[in-house]
Amino acid sequence: MQESGEMYLESILIIGKKKNIVRAVDICEQMGFSKASVSRALSKLKKDGYVIIDENGFIAFTEKGRAVAEKIYERHEVLSEILMMLGVKEKTAVADACRMEHDISDETFNAIKEHIKSKKTL
């Protein structure tokens, strides 16, 4: 999956945490993209089996889509946290984590997670 698809899935997850329903207009507001761009992206995500869009336009994850969204969201949260622990200002840490979350390997991410856990238990 491309980074843009991951970003859409993460946005859907974040919106869903705030509201019980997610619509295309919510994604437009969250991401700052046009309705046309969001519509194209949602069509691709639906075609590829990541989301379901009902007759009322409500968006829900498939099992596959939720797994990707949660993986990216976890990466964002953990990477933001570690950067702030290193002294990076929150705004910068969040922005940098957003870029890093899509490229970091599972191996490196898991090592970072384990490192954070070991520091929290001290």
Q: Are 25 and 12 in contact (CB under 8 A)?
A: no
Overall pTM > 0.85 = no
Which tens digits make up the pLDDT trace of 85-108?
A: 889 999 999 999 988 988 899 999
Alpha-carbon gap, residue 10 to 79, rounded angstroms = 15
Structural domains of the chain, with CATH: 3-67 (1.10.10.10), 72-120 (1.10.60.10)
Residue 4 has pLDDT above 90, yes or no: no
